[in-house]
Homo-oligomer: A and B are copies of this chain.
């Protein structure tokens, strides 16, 4: 592919269809890798969202679900020793979720064992990988509403 290729620009519907398929397949790979370590996809997703310490409420925002739901998820992560709750210095209402060393390790292992996804990455050219990365970073603030 040269630089001035006359590629057909896809419609939104085509992009949506393709993205839905890729998103679904990616999610399956993720859930399967998490399951191999005894984690549900929600638990693994939460683990990925607390690589930096995050208050419960903010975690609910990141996961796009109700705060009361996060209570249970963090309960289970805590029971597994993958994260813990710490009191906030400034506000005694707030509990901050902190990932443990073991949690960080399992997260890395899960991501490392997403075989299909890694195969997919490796099937891309350097140019494609760079393009994908740049598109992701460009799109992220728009997609998450923090423009």
Q: Which residues of A contact B (CB under 8 A)?
A: 2-4, 7-10, 12-16, 18-32, 45, 48-49, 62, 64, 111, 114, 116-121, 123-124, 126-140, 142-145
Shortest Cβ gap from A25 to chain B (Å): 4
Separation of A135 and B10 alpha carbons in the complex (Å): 12
**B16 and A126 contacting across the interface, CB-CB below 8 Å:** no
**B123 and A128 contacting across the interface, CB-CB below 8 Å:** no
**A136 and B21 contacting across the interface, CB-CB below 8 Å:** yes
Q: Specify which of B20, B29, B111, B138 is in contact with A123 (CB 8 Å cutoff).
A: B138
Q: A3-B3, A48-B20, A64-B32 are in contact. Are A117 and B143 (CB under 8 A)?
A: yes
Q: Specify which of B29, B31, B145 is in contact with A116 (CB 8 Å cutoff).
A: B145
Shortest Cβ gap from A5 to chain B (Å): 8
